[in-house]
């Protein structure tokens, strides 16, 4: 090959290399223009960004706390005095819930049955005597009227248990063992259950089964769904060991059945 031909080939190669390098530099410049490198954060900005991340990672308060706030103004502490089957004077404790603007209180009939005196207490501190104004013995439900009610009556919101399913959250609020305003959480375990009351042999039908812990003193209190609505009235606990402690199964009367004893217009 002639010398000038070799030089021309070298010049073409050199020119092509220059074009490639130029295009590469142009690509880098365009990338930096379109995607500029991030500006380093100051220490204060780093702390602020970390606080945002921590706040977004903090879970919301549990629903049970809201449910408790919803029902507390409607909860009633019931204390009774009367004579037991052995002829001995004694005291009993139960729970109730206000269901209308008239201040009517739903509870379990066995809480007040045979009582010679009934006292009720509300969350605002109002106390007074109460009398039974309605009863549904077949379903163990009683309706009370207090001699004194709070200045502001806050009825519970009634819901539908049959909009629920087995496994849905359930909350029992009442006065177990005299511990006022206690709450326990669990799930709905079954529907349309039957239960025979040991002392009387009475058979209750159509009950809701749940596993939120209940003990003596919970009877008559509300069973709530996750929206804080009353879906049933607690009436019994299963005690296969013949003890009065909770064994994992509680029963409640559906609110449709219970409220019918009070003549509630909602049911």
Which residues are annotated as catalytic? 110, 140, 219
84's tokens: 């037991």
> Residues 6 or more apart from 25 whose CB is under 8 A from it?
none
Three-state secondary-structure class, residue 82 = strand
**C-alpha span between 133 and 82 (Å, rounded):** 18
Are 81 and 115 within 8 A, CB to CB? yes
245's tokens: 């402690």
* Buried-state track 60-79, b at ≥16 Cβ within 10 A, e below 16: eeeebeebbebbebbbbbbb
Q: Which residues lie across from 82 on neighbouring strands?
A: 90, 115
**C-alpha span between 95 and 111 (Å, rounded):** 8
**C-alpha span between 146 and 155 (Å, rounded):** 14
227's tokens: 């929206």
Scanning the structure block, which residue is given the tokens 């490639």?
A: 20
Scanning the structure block, which residue is given the tokens 């139960």?
A: 94
Are 93 and 147 within 8 A, CB to CB? no
């Amino acid at each position: 090959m002639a010398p000038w031909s070799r030089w021309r080939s070298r010049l073409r190669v050199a020119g092509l290399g220059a074009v490639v390098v130029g295009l590469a530099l142009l690509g880098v410049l365009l990338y930096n223009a379109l995607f500029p490198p991030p500006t380093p954060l100051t220490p204060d900005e780093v702390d602020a960004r970390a606080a945002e991340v921590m706040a977004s990672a903090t879970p919301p308060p549990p629903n049970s706390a809201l449910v408790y706030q919803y029902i507390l103004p409607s909860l009633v502490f019931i204390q009774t005095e009367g004579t037991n089957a052995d002829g001995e004077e004694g005291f009993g404790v139960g729970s109730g819930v206000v269901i209308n603007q008239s201040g009517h209180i739903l509870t379990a009939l066995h809480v007040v049955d045979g009582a010679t005196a009934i006292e009720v207490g509300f969350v605002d501190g109002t106390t007074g005597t109460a009398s039974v104004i309605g009863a549904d013995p077949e379903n163990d439900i009683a309706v009370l009227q207090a001699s004194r009610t709070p200045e502001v009556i806050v009825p519970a919101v009634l819901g539908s248990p049959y909009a629920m399913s087995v496994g849905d959250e359930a909350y029992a609020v009442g006065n177990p063992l005299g511990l006022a305003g206690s709450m326990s959480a669990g799930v709905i375990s079954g529907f349309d259950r039957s239960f025979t009351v040991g002392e009387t042999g009475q058979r209750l039908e159509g009950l809701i089964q749940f596993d939120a812990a209940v003990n003596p003193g919970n009877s008559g209190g509300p069973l709530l769904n996750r929206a804080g609505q009353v879906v049933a009235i607690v009436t019994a606990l299963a005690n296969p060991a013949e003890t009065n402690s909770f064994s994992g199964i509680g029963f409640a009367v559906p609110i449709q059945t219970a409220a019918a004893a009070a003549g509630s217009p909602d049911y």
